[in-house]
């Protein structure tokens, strides 16, 4: 019964909260905290067992499907935007830049976190330390276009720089989510060491092919003249089914729904009509998801967390900034890419939270509690710094270098 009351409270908070998830006329840190929704993580922390205990551990166990739905819906929306007509607007150099940028960020964060985790948690098994460093590296590759979309309304146009940054943040999450699915499929030590390759390949194929097939089938079922609002209801149910099944079999709801979103968006002819409707539905689901994440957060604070957050953010910033001139030379990119431009990619957004939570739910270990705490703290710090960093990256670029 308490779960029903808690669910009603979440619906009420989501209804009220959607009034604040609107675009503001100024790009301040406070406005962006409400725009991005991260303030609801703190609300969930207060409502959870660290605060009022309305969302107790027992209640949260009953509301697990909502977390799965939130992950699936974020993944589906992210995949739904990766439509081939949208991607064709950008040059091959831009796609190559997204790959190189992801590679350097991954490599830099992985190296720093391997050393940091080994020093701070020497008692943990080596495969867990290695897996945690991989998780941090994957998380670091994820960006959100939310901040840049908001900035497009309040910052003056800076030519190709803002346009390119929005593209890079839109596609960067794809590489991180794919890496996460590989970690889900092949990282099951020590329980399945003897059949790891076979089992991992099977899990990866199932989590890819089944949602892809469902996306194709759903397209053919909705080819007839069905209203967009009806399709929206059917899509919501389908995402709930796919994400729930993935969660049950310890696969990634984020990845499975991402694949279904990509396939369906590239088959349907009403993608441009559906996408605004999907985004309007995202707001209440997103708020409920963030509140539940805050309630699930085993919040702790010690110097090891502070050091890991600092190391993680430092490595991510270095990986996002310093290699940019080299990437430009390697790809023969026509526009200058000074290191300061890398500050455009500081925001993680909701996709970063989803990646961090996905790993914690798949591997409920003490070390993943540490991972989630470091990840959420790093994400919140990044969102606080994001508006100021973006202004530095865009407004203070040499105007003579901007076309």
C-alpha distances (whole Å) from 341 to each of 231, 313, 395 are 40, 16, 10
Average pLDDT over residues 279-305: 83
Question: Could you tell me which residue, 274 or 155, shows the higher pLDDT?
Answer: 274
- 147: helix, strand or coil: helix
Q: What is the pLDDT of residue 60?
A: 79
- The listed range with the strongest mean pLDDT (146-160, 167-181, 328-342, 367-381) is 367-381
Q: What is the pLDDT of residue 310?
A: 95
Confidence bin at 158 (pLDDT 50/70/90) = low
What one-character DSSP code corresponds to residue 21? Answer: S
Mean pLDDT across the chain: 82
Average pLDDT over residues 296-319: 90
Average pLDDT over residues 134-146: 90
CATH of 27-401, one of 1.10.3210, 1.10.3470, 3.40.50, 1.20.1530: 1.20.1530
Average pLDDT over residues 150-177: 75
Q: What is the pLDDT of residue 255?
A: 92
Q: What is the pLDDT of residue 113?
A: 95
Confidence bin at 362 (pLDDT 50/70/90) = confident
Asked if residue 88 has pLDDT above 80, the reply is no
- The listed range with the strongest mean pLDDT (2-6, 206-210, 360-364) is 206-210
Asked if residue 403 has pLDDT above 50, the reply is no
H/E element, 178: helix 160-186
Residues 6+ apart with CB under 8 A from 265: 79, 80, 81, 82, 83, 271
Q: What is the pLDDT of residue 27?
A: 65
Confidence bin at 328 (pLDDT 50/70/90) = confident
Average pLDDT over residues 246-250: 81
What's the whole-model pTM score?
Answer: 0.88
Question: Could you tell me which residue, 242 or 4, shows the higher pLDDT?
Answer: 242
Asked if residue 18 has pLDDT above 70, the reply is no
Q: Among 381, 383, 235, which residue's Cα sits nearest to residue 308?
A: 381
Question: Could you tell me which residue, 360 or 116, shows the higher pLDDT?
Answer: 116
Determine the Cα–Cα distance for residues 238 and 221; give it in Å rounded to an integer.
12
Determine the Cα–Cα distance for residues 323 and 337; give it in Å rounded to an integer.
9
Confidence bin at 332 (pLDDT 50/70/90) = confident
Residues 6+ apart with CB under 8 A from 146: 35, 36, 347, 349, 350
Q: Is the dihedral of CA 163, 165, 169, 171 positive or negative?
A: positive
Asked if residue 317 has pLDDT above 50, the reply is yes
Asked if residue 400 has pLDDT above 60, the reply is no
Asked if residue 190 has pLDDT above 60, the reply is no
- 55: helix, strand or coil: strand
Confidence bin at 62 (pLDDT 50/70/90) = confident
Confidence bin at 174 (pLDDT 50/70/90) = confident
Q: What is the pLDDT of residue 322?
A: 92
Average pLDDT over residues 33-58: 81
- SS3 helix, strand, coil % of the chain, rounded to 5? 75, 0, 25
Q: Under a CB-based contact definition with an 8 Å cutoff, are residues 265 and 82 in contact?
A: yes
Average pLDDT over residues 370-383: 91
Average pLDDT over residues 137-150: 85
Determine the Cα–Cα distance for residues 358 and 231; give it in Å rounded to an integer.
27
- 332: helix, strand or coil: coil
Asked if residue 402 has pLDDT above 50, the reply is no
Determine the Cα–Cα distance for residues 290 and 284; give it in Å rounded to an integer.
10
Asked if residue 1 has pLDDT above 70, the reply is no
Q: What is the pLDDT of residue 153?
A: 66
Asked if residue 29 has pLDDT above 80, the reply is no
Helix pair angle (126-140, 160-186), 10° resolution:
160
Q: What is the pLDDT of residue 175?
A: 85
Q: What is the pLDDT of residue 87?
A: 75
Q: What is the pLDDT of residue 263?
A: 93
Confidence bin at 315 (pLDDT 50/70/90) = very high
Q: Where are the domains of the chain?
A: 27-401
């Amino acid at each position: 019964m308490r779960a029903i009351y808690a669910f009603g409270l979440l619906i009420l908070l989501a209804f009220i909260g959607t009034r604040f998830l609107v675009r503001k006329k100024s790009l301040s840190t406070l406005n962006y905290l409400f725009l991005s929704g991260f303030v609801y993580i703190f609300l969930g922390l207060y409502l959870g067992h660290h605060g009022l205990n309305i969302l107790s551990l027992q209640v949260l166990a009953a509301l697990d499907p909502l977390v799965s739905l939130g992950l699936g819906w974020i993944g589906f929306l992210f995949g739904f935007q990766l439509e081939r007509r949208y991607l064709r607007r950008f040059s091959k150099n831009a796609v190559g830049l997204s790959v190189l940028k992801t590679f350097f960020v991954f490599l830099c964060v992985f190296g720093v976190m391997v050393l940091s985790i080994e020093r701070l948690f020497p008692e943990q098994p080596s495969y867990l330390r290695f897996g945690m460093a991989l998780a941090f590296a994957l998380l670091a590759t994820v960006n959100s276009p939310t901040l840049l979309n908001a900035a497009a309304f309040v910052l003056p146009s800076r030519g190709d720089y803002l346009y390119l940054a929005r593209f890079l943040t839109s596609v960067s999450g794809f590489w991180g989510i794919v890496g996460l699915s590989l970690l889900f499929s092949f990282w099951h030590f020590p329980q399945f060491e003897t059949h790891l390759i076979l089992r991992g390949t099977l899990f990866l194929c199932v989590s890819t092919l089944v949602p892809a097939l469902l996306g194709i089938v759903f397209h053919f079922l909705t080819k007839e003249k069905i209203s967009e609002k009806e399709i929206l209801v059917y899509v919501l149910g389908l995402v709930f089914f796919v994400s729930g099944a993935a969660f049950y079999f310890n696969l990634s709801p984020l990845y499975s729904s991402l694949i279904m979103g990509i396939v369906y968006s590239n088959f349907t002819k009403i993608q441009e009509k559906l996408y605004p409707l999907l985004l309007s539905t995202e707001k209440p689901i997103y708020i409920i998801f963030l509140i539940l994440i805050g309630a699930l957060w085993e919040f702790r604070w010690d110097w090891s967390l502070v050091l890991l957050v600092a190391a993680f953010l430092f490595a991510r910033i270095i990986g996002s900034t310093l290699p940019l001139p080299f990437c430009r030379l390697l790809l023969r990119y026509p526009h200058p890419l000074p290191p300061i431009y890398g500050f455009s990619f500081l925001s993680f957004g909701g996709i970063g939270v989803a990646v961090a939570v996905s790993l914690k739910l798949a591997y409920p270990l003490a070390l993943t509690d540490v991972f989630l705490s470091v990840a959420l703290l790093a994400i919140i710090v990044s969102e606080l710094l994001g508006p100021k960093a973006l202004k530095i990256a865009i407004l203070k670029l040499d105007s003579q270098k901007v076309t």
